[in-house]
Amino acid sequence: MRAYERLLNYVRVYTTSNPESETVPTTGWQFDLADQLVKEMKELGIADARVDDKCYVYGTLPATAGCENKKKIGLIAHMDTSPDFCGKNVKPQVIENYDGRDVALGNSGRVLSVENFPHLKKLKGRTLITTDGTTLLGSDDKAGIAEILTAVEMIQKKGLPHGTICIGFTPDEEVGAGADHFDVAGFGADYAYTLDGSEEGEIVYENFNAAGAVFTTRGFNVHPGSAKNTMLNAQLVAMEINAMLPGCETPRHTEGREGFFHLCEMEGNVERARLQYIVRDHEIEAFRHRENMLRHIEKILNEKYGEGTVELSIHEEYRNMREKVEECFEIVEKAEEAIRDLGIEPIVKPVRGGTDGSRLSFMGLPCPNLGTGSYAFHGPYEHTTAEGMDKAVEIILGIVKA
């Protein structure tokens, strides 16, 4: 079975996670895919395939004779889909011999256009898989799952020699909790790769350092007719906070390794206001500077308006995996070698986000991220190609051989 055929099966299973939920996993329906995958893994010869009570799927392909002392490699993908857009009742469109032009997404009125997605031109001639415009596709990250299990099937059928291969599928990655309960020790790999990237041939071993920051401002409300030198409007203090941040350092104005402050949510009235930010930077020194800038704003405004007017909380979310991956950089070099062997030039770039791999790297499992051959995640324009997924499978096989 080709990887895209597996993908078409998986995307029909509803697995959207929920950032508001306090359960583990955040949605019970993720178990539906987990149970399906365990059954499939056992059919592929992974005898110890299992799902735990937190919806993490694990399994091991034992080393072949003579390879028992090789490094144990891990392959990881996530089962949930993003809550940013509808992930239920996915009805994929499969377009054979794609002509490289705009594609109408079902009857939704949406169009997958070359103007918005110029890379579509180089997908001409492939089998293109899209949504019908009413849901996301779910190739983030069910394409990664499909590629891992297709690689396992090919290894078994071809009798390829290999060291121990550890397989893990996680819930709740899209809401930042995919690594929360991952059993690194029980997983047993020396290092791993997440299959959760975009174009085939992509290697990511550098991501943002990330934190969430919340400013709460407290005001003093009296009748506006007698408010002279008395009223303090918490909303205006909140506006002052945002005005003190550099206006050119937002997601709209940054790219590559440039960091930013991103105002995600704001609410309030005269007595109380709240600003929620995410803070990102690739370099740890610059990241710490951003955190300190927020603390300085809190200090300055409390000096201006009185202690307790502004309260800041900062919660660090994940770190740049580069720090850990560089300690065993051969895992990147092996991936680059496998990609070049297919006639593809590796696409090495920092990701302007995070993956399970970034957290797992700091949990003792160095874990760069590989492309799946998919594009435009988290919305109705998500798409992939059968051939791109085939290439991702071949890259996995090349890494295993290496």
Catalytic residue flag (residue 80): yes
Alpha-carbon distances, residue 199 vs 137, 173, 227, 346, 369 (angstroms): 16, 19, 59, 10, 11
Q: Does the pLDDT of residue 362 top 80, yes or no?
A: yes
Q: How far apart are CA 173 and CA 170, in angstroms?
A: 7
The conformation of residue 289, written as its DSSP 8-state character, comes to H
The CATH architecture to which 209-318 belongs is 2-Layer Sandwich (3.30)
Alpha-carbon distances, residue 23 vs 26, 33, 82, 174, 344 (angstroms): 5, 18, 17, 15, 42
* 8 Å CB contact between 338 and 398: yes
Domain boundaries, the chain: 3-207+320-401, 209-318
Active-site residue, from 80, 132, 141, 356: 80
| Identity of the residue numbered 367 | C
Q: What's the pLDDT at 360?
A: 95
For the chain, give the percent of residues with pLDDT over 90.
Answer: 96
Peptide bond connecting 251 to the previous residue in cis, omega within 30 degrees of 0:
no
Q: What's the pLDDT at 206?
A: 93
Q: How far apart are CA 358 and CA 368, in angstroms?
A: 8
Active-site residue, from 172, 173, 281, 382: 173
pTM listed for this prediction: 0.88
**Torsions phi, psi of 110, nearest 5?**
-85, 150
For 327-344, b where at least 16 C-beta lie within 10 A, e where not — what string?
eeeebbebbbebbeeeeb
Q: How far apart are CA 172 and CA 25, in angstroms?
A: 7
* 8 Å CB contact between 25 and 90: no
E runs forming strands in 107-182: 111-112, 128-130, 165-170
Per residue in 370-400, pLDDT (tens digit) is 999 999 999 999 999 999 999 999 999 999 9
Per residue in 335-355, pLDDT (tens digit) is 999 999 999 999 998 888 877
Q: What's the pLDDT at 41?
A: 98
- Bridge partners of 310, per DSSP, are 217
* 8 Å CB contact between 8 and 117: no
The conformation of residue 62, written as its DSSP 8-state character, comes to P
Catalytic residue flag (residue 84): no
User: Which CATH class for the 3-207+320-401 domain?
Assistant: alpha beta
- Mean per-residue pLDDT for 315-332? 93
Q: Does the pLDDT of residue 94 top 90, yes or no?
A: yes
The set of residues, in sequence order, having a beta carbon less than 8 Å from that of 209 and lying 6+ positions away, is 280, 281, 282, 283, 284, 287, 316, 318, 319, 320
Q: How far apart are CA 272 and CA 166, in angstroms?
A: 50
Give the number of residues written for the chain. Answer: 402
